[in-house]
Amino acid sequence: RKEVEQDPGPFNVPEGATVAFNCTYSNSASQSFFWYRQDCRKEPKLLMSVYSSGNEDGRFTAQLNRASQYISLLIRDSKLSDSATYLCVVPTGTYKYIFGTGTRLKVLA
Amino acid sequence: EPEVTQTPSHQVTQMGQEVILRCVPISNHLYFYWYRQILGQKVEFLVSFYNNEISEKSEIFDDQFSVERPDGSNFTLKIRSTKLEDSAMYFCASSPGGELFFGEGSRLTVL
């Protein structure tokens, strides 16, 4: 299994739709997880941190399943501005964070 | 809001030349990182730096690369003799422990 694995997409969804992305990780010792958003040719920006079973922030919900070693990101009521690449990030220790390839989302009008 | 700043935003260089990319991390952060992203590819870990020394580095970070924190604010990445395949976006990040905060990146083009 790759260290961090994501479906690259693209996911094309209409405005208002609910969309979910999964990310699997191989290091069972990882304790914290992050979702970042990256717009084209820009830096990754923190979207959500996941330290326990899950986290919710407005339209965004992240869930962690330690037994199956995956985290998910759910976006409700998609907006055009949500179009971006969503990066799953897993620390493999204090000093190294591994990025997934990212999942591209396109929200269509 | 404090932010990580990087210079230059874009540098074009000839193969074999030395390049220094500069970063000013967020002031109270303790952990510093360099990542790179080749166009169309994933964000790749290069090196982490803590307590004035390298904490961890990847296979990419070979003898051509070095990092330095010459004073209390700057964090630099040096590439001694650039290759064509070093062309990429280089992101600096800092962290208080936990989340990473990224600069806007330095785009390096090697001709």
Question: CB-CB: which of A42, A89, A95 is closest to B56?
Answer: A95
Contact A43 B105 (CB under 8 A): yes
Question: How high is the mean pLDDT of chain A?
Answer: 94
Q: Is the pLDDT of residue A30 over 80?
A: yes
pLDDT band at A81 (very low <50, low <70, confident <90, very high): very high
Looking at the complex, report in whole angstroms how far the Cα of residue A3 sits from the nearest Cα belonging to chain B. Answer: 12
Distance from CA of B80 to the nearest CA of A (A): 24
- Counts for chain A of helices (H) and strands (E), in that order: 0, 11
The residue that leads in pLDDT, A1 or B91, is B91
Tell me what pLDDT residue A29 has.
86
CA-to-CA separations, B40 to A92, A98, B44, in angstroms, rounded: 24, 17, 12
Flag whether pLDDT at B110 surpasses 80. yes
Q: Which residue in chain B is spatially nearest to A38 when comparing CA positions?
A: B43
pLDDT at A69 (0 to 100): 93
Q: Which of A34, A39, A43 to mutate to test the interface with B (most CBs of B within 10 A)?
A: A43
- Of A82, A98, A100, residue with least CA distance to A11: A82
Does residue B105 belong to the interface with chain A, where contact is any CB pair within 8 Å? Answer: yes
Q: SS3 string of chain B?
A: CCCCEEECCEEEECCCCCEEEEEECCCCCCEEEEEEECCCCCEEEEEEEECCEEEEECCCCCCCEEEECCCCCCEEEEECCCCHHHCEEEEEEEECCCCCEECCCEEEEEC
Question: Residue B72 pLDDT more than 80?
Answer: no
> Looking at the predicted structure, is the pLDDT value of residue B23 above 80?
yes
For residues A87-106, average pLDDT: 93
| pLDDT of res. B108 | 98
Q: Which residue of B has its CA nearest to A95?
A: B48
